[in-house]
A and B are shown apart, each in its own frame.
Chain A
């Protein structure tokens, strides 16, 4: 039978929000655990960072939180994927070796966000990756030194990714930001009240000063024979083609809402609704970080702390962070306006461009139908192993289609896991 564990506070997601929540909740002998599908802690942004490494480099913030996490004696269940809710107060999770039932008194959802991909001709070529995706691959050991990389899409993350890839020896041939320059200028002026953000941005720009950064610029086609060799960009009134080995592409982030939806948490404007204490519409379930709206590391840390304190009834500690959270949210609003996706991006995919890569469904095939449900039934779009995470998000943007409700498993899971019996066994060959 599946292993059983019980926690006073269980936190889903081991990024900044989850770590901050865990540190704050782990008081007075409470049993607290962070569960994360990644084998390494830190979430997407602090992935693979160790205290020693971060302290010695440019991330003292990460170092201090990782130290607090160690000192707080929080259990970290790495490589553990939440897949279902067998009953109230219990989550079913899967590891490489077994299935486990994780019961909790309080639950904090800090599962972050994922990158939005938009289909354009050639986007499925090997060599075209997510922006954060390529960064993760490089952090996990993909050799990038000397390789030519174009970074495209939208948001400050493009600078962060380019900076990291360059650190690992990549040659950044272009950063293409879809937002128009005047919007970014207004955004920059609005940061006068947030010198930290300005300095962070300026730091990236300084380190990337030799890299071409173009605004109002986006990829219209990726080309190559079997793998990427060049990308054509729309830039101003003309197009330009850039030779490269990788295109790291990210059009902003989409909160991961599968688990909150499965748990019946109310959504609001594409994110989890929360009250002042970061509590969702379901009593005893809290949410923090990108899952409540994409806001970056600083806001995630504040929200995580509030959720952690609130979950153990330390409202006074939590309330002291409200003002900082308010400032963070104003910044997020400005960010959203500055980097809003332009309408032209809806017409990048041609009739033949695949939108669903799992099931190889083109834009033209989808356009014959009036809803996500109908298109899914008739074309198999969204029925593959990604469970519609990529194509469903794209279809929402392209066609304004609403997706269906969420059903378990929220990630592909072994039959033995869902059956709550999973003896060790060999995986059958596919």
Chain B
């Protein structure tokens, strides 16, 4: 093995690490991407693959919109198995109070140049006949899209490889030190910059990040083409996703290009087991059935779980990590903490990091995502 230092070592071949490897390699830098398992085998494989603009906060909006624009630049090149489709999102309002929130969101989206329209009860029923009657309406965001993330990760890695990146799979990184990245086989990868993109497990290599793993469940059905046409999310999802420290389940059902449907979503904290928890799964499916009663007789083929990496302020950690400064001499960067938005935010995350490492100005302000904002005052 060569001991020549790579410009960048990316740890983690999920969608975020893969996007980083691709962007750095395209800049002509020498890149080594490492992962203990298969590409896109962690949270990337567990998520729904929804690329959505979200407006929980100004920085969240900026990064999701920027990322979605970057997604649009690559989707036409994606091979068929990446299952790209622009199905749009319907944020469902169950009652008038939620419909008022829909109107507020519609204004917020359109003011910032994102297409969004309000559907009243009748228009919603026409758009999605399998929804129960009596719903108040919905916000339709037509530009949101879906992909199949593990295959996108593979495609990004292949693109990075074409630009000269080295990929080492099946080898775990065990330590980030002042000399580089030490691997499980005790070899050392010297690096100019090190990107920790290992999702909710990032603290194993970089302690003190206060990431909270939030367990999620998903189910996928057999093929029912036309059962739904948009990604459907109850507006209450935002409350559910924002609730910290309690288990929650919200209706989120997505049509796949195969005719299958993904049914989510749940959030649990304090869980370590990857096992499917039938109690929360049942709660999640009952919630989906409240909106789509005909789901009762739809066949479920598989269920699974995954862990989102949540931060205290619901924004990702992107940029130089100063808490590990003494051991890594300021070469360590983070790309984690995306919670449920890792797929959406992957391209924007990669661009922000390339800009940070190369000392360039970014397209959006990078400050809100810098790890330093959440660090405890123990670093120099």
Q: Which of chain B's residues have a CB closer than 8 A to the CB of A421?
A: 286, 289, 296
Name the one of A377, A384, A429 contacting B301, with C-beta atoms under 8 angstroms: A384
| CB of B238 within 8 Å of the partner chain | no
Q: Which of chain A's residues have a CB closer than 8 A to the CB of B154?
A: 378
Q: How far is the CA of A412 from the CA of B151 in the complex (A)?
A: 25
Chain B positions 268-307 with a Cβ under 8 Å from a chain A Cβ: 275-276, 278-279, 281-282, 285-286, 288-289, 293-304
* Contact flags A365-389 to B (C-beta < 8 A → 1, else 0): 0000111011001111001110100
CB of B296 within 8 A of CB of A412, answer no
Q: Which of chain A's residues have a CB closer than 8 A to the CB of B286?
A: 419, 421
CB of A407 within 8 A of CB of B301, answer no
CB of A87 within 8 A of CB of B278, answer yes
| Chain A proximity of B218: nearest CB distance (Å) | 11
CB of B222 within 8 A of CB of A430, answer yes
Q: Which of chain A's residues have a CB closer than 8 A to the CB of B278?
A: 84-87, 92, 408, 418
Name the one of A85, A373, A374, A414 contacting B297, with C-beta atoms under 8 angstroms: A414
Name the one of B150, B227, B285 contacting A419, with C-beta atoms under 8 angstroms: B285
Q: How far is the CA of A415 from the CA of B276 in the complex (A)?
A: 15
Q: Which of chain B's residues have a CB closer than 8 A to the CB of A378?
A: 81, 150-151, 154
| CB of B221 within 8 Å of the partner chain | yes
Q: Which of chain A's residues have a CB closer than 8 A to the CB of B170?
A: 370
Task: Report which residue of B37, B276, B297 has the largest number of chain A beta carbons within 10 angstroms of its beta carbon.
Answer: B297
| CB of B180 within 8 Å of the partner chain | no
| Chain A proximity of B217: nearest CB distance (Å) | 10
Closest 10 CB pairs of A and B: A416-B296, A374-B38, A419-B285, A377-B150, A86-B278, A427-B297, A415-B295, A419-B286, A412-B299, A425-B297
| Interface residues, chain A, with chain B CB atoms under 8 Å away | 84-87, 92, 369-371, 373-374, 377-380, 383-385, 387, 407-409, 412-416, 418-423, 425-430
A418-B303, A430-B259 known; 18 new pairs, CB 8 Å cut-off, are A87-B278, A87-B279, A378-B151, A380-B81, A383-B220, A407-B276, A407-B304, A408-B278, A409-B301, A412-B299, A415-B263, A418-B281, A418-B282, A418-B285, A419-B289, A421-B289, A422-B296, A428-B298
| Interface residues, chain B, with chain A CB atoms under 8 Å away | 37-41, 45, 81, 130, 150-151, 154, 169-170, 219-225, 227, 259, 263, 275-276, 278-279, 281-282, 285-286, 288-289, 293-304
| Between-chain CB contacts (< 8 Å), 29 pairs | A92-B278, A369-B38, A370-B169, A370-B170, A374-B38, A377-B38, A377-B150, A378-B81, A378-B151, A378-B154, A379-B81, A407-B275, A409-B300, A409-B303, A412-B301, A414-B298, A415-B285, A415-B300, A416-B285, A418-B278, A418-B285, A419-B296, A420-B282, A421-B296, A425-B293, A425-B294, A426-B294, A430-B223, A430-B225
